[in-house]
Structure 1
């Protein structure tokens, strides 16, 4: 039994006439009669009886009609759902984000996503510098807000903005009184750093900046996340050079100062597995760009 047979059956039941049903279906009457007889043969039951007013459902026909309508309605819903997903109107998007970007980006981004993709189910997953590559590669997140962009085979990235560098230090630090920190003031200081992996924020931005200006700092700790770095800065273990967005939601007792005459920053990117073919990707990136511009 197929959906076409059910559609023909429902049309005859509604019209109470094979001839009228054939007109509504834009087909000849004899093939429609053959379809109804074939359906009755498959079921082993008579579905209609001829009466003076036309075609009347038998008890078996009445039992089938309600289920046939449900089946056709479900099939229609399924087709519409598939079209909506293919067009990017429906679906599910699991968004990974690094903690440092949470306060800075999500309050602007989430409402934009709700407006742009109202029927898309959204889920958010916090990532760290140690976990974000694996989460993307294993498709545990559909897209990820990364800082810096991931540069490895199998992962695509689109840069959507930049976060300037800030030096996080205790408010009681003598340098906390300065409007901006000259790089020379960091010489010989103690640094709380993110992990040093290939293309990580530490090696590609902070370490590169310090090497370029011949600044040597002692690495006191390497931590996975920005909030771990901030906790150790509060504890007096050293300073941390972080993206400016780390100041949002930071605990009291810390200050964030710009570096004097330094234009370097952390690139922010949307990253995804390069073989991902999703119509949700382009509108998501558009929403992120608009959020970063605010």
Structure 2
């Protein structure tokens, strides 16, 4: 027995006529009669009897009718759910975000996602410099809001914005008197390294390391930290300076001053990153929502 047999049976029961049901199903009457007879033969009992008002259900037919209607309704719901997921209207989306972007992005992004993807179950997962690659690569998050973008084989990335770079320093620092800090002022200063800093053959290949190298600036890296918040805590403790994206200033503790740099290299890119082989129809509308929220 398949859904086609149930659909034909329900159509005849509702119309109380094989002829009327055949018209509604856009098929000839004889094949429909054959389907009903085959169904009765398969069940070993009559489903209809002819009465004064046309085809009437037997007790066995009545028992099948209610369950057949339910089965067809469930199948319809299942088909519609599959179409909705395929169209990006329903489903589940796990969003990873770098902690530093939380205050800057989520207050604008979450309402946009609720508005544009109302039928989607959205979960948020905090990521750090040491976990974001694993979370994205191992499908533990569907998409990640990364800064800087994750540049790995098999990872797709779409840039959705940039964060200007600021120099974070104790409020009492002489450099806090500058509206814009010249890069030359950083020469020989102590730096608290940001997450994502990589050292290859003795050279810092991170975005900030490349920025300093391009300006011929050498800073003494006293410590490398896991999060921007850890960097700010060490700055507040007087351990050194830190070069951070502008979003780090949101919700920062008192006692820290932030100043733009004379040359920040155009700022640090933010990107939506995901596994390139992940075929998820929700990724495209999610990127659109991020772009709208950041506009």
**Matching residue of 1:197:** 198
SS at match of 1:256: strand
> C-alpha offsets along residues 8-31 of structure 1, whole Å, 9 cap, x if unaligned?
111111111222211221222221
Matched, 1:226 2:228: yes
Matched, 1:211 2:205: no
**Matching residue of 1:76:** 76
**Matching residue of 1:236:** 238
**Matching residue of 1:52:** 52
Is the deviation greater in 98-107 or in 277-286?
Answer: 277-286
What is the TM-score with the length of structure 2 in the denominator? 0.93
**Matching residue of 1:265:** 267
Gaps of 5+ in 2: none
Q: How does 1:90-169 map to 2 (within 5 A)?
A: 90-169=90-169
- Following superposition, the deviation at residue 262 of structure 1 comes to 3.9
Q: Name the Cα RMSD after superposition.
A: 1.7
**Matching residue of 2:283:** 281
Cα distance in 2 for residues equivalent to 1:12 and 1:215:
84
Cα distance in 1 for residues equivalent to 2:176 and 2:156:
39
- Following superposition, the deviation at residue 213 of structure 1 comes to 2.1
What is the TM-score with the length of structure 1 in the denominator? 0.93
- Following superposition, the deviation at residue 276 of structure 1 comes to 1.7
- Following superposition, the deviation at residue 206 of structure 1 comes to 1.0
Cα distance in 2 for residues equivalent to 1:110 and 1:23:
50
- Following superposition, the deviation at residue 174 of structure 1 comes to 2.7
Matched, 1:36 2:36: yes
Contact persistence 2:198–2:206 (CA under 8 A): no
SS at match of 1:278: coil
SS at match of 1:276: coil
Is the deviation greater in 258-267 or in 6-15?
Answer: 258-267
> C-alpha offsets along residues 91-140 of structure 1, whole Å, 9 cap, x if unaligned?
21111110111111111111112222221221111111111111111111
Cα distance in 2 for residues equivalent to 1:262 and 1:56:
81
> C-alpha offsets along residues 233-282 of structure 1, whole Å, 9 cap, x if unaligned?
22222111010111112122222111124444111111111112222222
**Number of aligned positions between the proteins:** 291
Gaps of 5+ in 1: none
SS at match of 2:39: helix
